[in-house]
Amino acid sequence: MKILLYNPDNGVTQNFMPHLWMFLLQALTPPGHEVLLIDGNTQAMTDAELVEFALRSQVGLVGIGAMTRMIAKAYRVADALRAAGIKVVMGGPHVTEVPDEALGRDGGPRHADAIALGEADETWPRIVADAVRGRMKEVYTPVDVFGQERKPSLQEYPPIPWQSLDMDQFNRIPGFVRPIMKHFHYQWETFHIIPIESGRGCPYGCEFCTVTGFFGDSIRFRTNDSIVSELLRLKARARGTSGQIAVFFVDDNFAINVKRTKSLLRDIIGQFRHQRQTDQVAVAGHNRGWRAAQLGGADQRQPAARRGTGGPDCRVRRQVDLHRNGIAGSG
């Protein structure tokens, strides 16, 4: 089945980066399905154009996520899609706060075939499976075996395949500027601002904020390794596409646990400082006519924390860096 994940714009302002939920749900989609992404902030379409695209692409299910500032556009698009016979599931903070509105239970028109309340990490695969069978429920809520609301753990965070995603629509460099940059021999042609998260939740429950109601009052964190790996995938993409990438942590309170924040930042700095040093050595060697280099490794008798980034995986990365610069590496 083809699935379209659509993030609506609000018709007034424009986001400076895409929303994370589309990439996360794409990574959580079970194998065997093709997922298309459209962000209304970067790919402006009328309702009719979006419906035409969905029909032409033979989309079987459309997922729409929206906050209150985008909900009017979200409902309008959902209505047009459903009128064309395409199933629509809606989620996000607004729908979670007023679920009866999307389902037409408040006396107004119905806008969605199904809704996903709260975080959809665990419910999304079920929604897709039910849509394939043509038996979607009206409401999907993440609950445990006792019927109590459950927040998904972030310890087994799904790896988003940034290196292979089609990101053209999110390029912040306008098309008319790219030939100019090329003329002046800029080494990069794309610039993306990428959202990633290191944790969810907030204990404060401020009355003007929906974060505690949506993500809960307890903080859940990803592992440091998961975050560093994601950053490395983004760096690899930037290298492979002659582009630049800026990362934006979308945590609602990135430094709420100071000890954990320092630990994460140390791991990020350690990894990227080491990689930068390796890059510099490879480039310097190339400039000096090196043809081969012997690579050493960490003393495996030392604790892992002290060995840092000197293990086998690191030596492989060093060899790749050297190879890119025409130097044979061994070790």
- Does the pLDDT value for residue 120 go beyond 90? yes
- Does the pLDDT value for residue 297 go beyond 60? no
pLDDT at 272: 83
| pLDDT tens-digit map of 194-204 | 999 999 999 99
Show the tokens assigned to 146: 């006792």
Task: Provide mean pLDDT across the span 229-235.
Answer: 95
Q: pLDDT band for position 328 (50/70/90)?
A: low
Task: Provide mean pLDDT across the span 138-161.
Answer: 92
Q: pLDDT band for position 98 (50/70/90)?
A: very high
pLDDT at 280: 55
Q: pLDDT band for position 325 (50/70/90)?
A: low
In the chain, % of residues over pLDDT 70: 82
The model's pTM: 0.81
Pairing of strands 34-39, 328-330: unpaired
pLDDT at 296: 46
Q: How far apart are CA 23 and CA 159, in angstroms?
A: 10
Q: pLDDT band for position 302 (50/70/90)?
A: very low
- The partner residues of 145 in beta bridges, in order of sequence, read none
pLDDT at 303: 43
pLDDT at 25: 98
- Average pLDDT of the chain to the nearest whole number: 86
- Does the pLDDT value for residue 157 go beyond 70? yes
pLDDT at 318: 53
Show the tokens assigned to 20: 């994370």
- Does the pLDDT value for residue 264 go beyond 80? yes
Q: 185 or 211, which is more confident?
A: 211
Lowest mean pLDDT among 100-114, 151-165, 229-243, 274-288: 274-288
What lies within 8 Å, CB to CB, of 168 at 6+ separation is: none
User: How would you class 16 by CB atoms within 10 Å of its CB: exposed for 0-12, middle for 13-18, buried for 19 or more?
Assistant: exposed
- Does the pLDDT value for residue 163 go beyond 70? yes
Lowest mean pLDDT among 191-200, 221-230, 257-266, 277-286: 277-286
- Does the pLDDT value for residue 309 go beyond 50? no
What lies within 8 Å, CB to CB, of 111 at 6+ separation is: 74, 75, 78, 79, 82, 88, 90, 101, 102, 103, 104
pLDDT at 308: 43
Give the chain's domains with CATH numbers.
Answer: 2-140 (3.40.50.2300), 154-256 (no CATH), 259-331 (no CATH)
Q: pLDDT band for position 293 (50/70/90)?
A: very low
Show the tokens assigned to 31: 């194998």
Pairing of strands 59-65, 114-116: unpaired
| pLDDT tens-digit map of 31-70 | 999 999 999 999 989 999 999 999 999 999 999 999 999 9
Q: 187 or 45, which is more confident?
A: 45
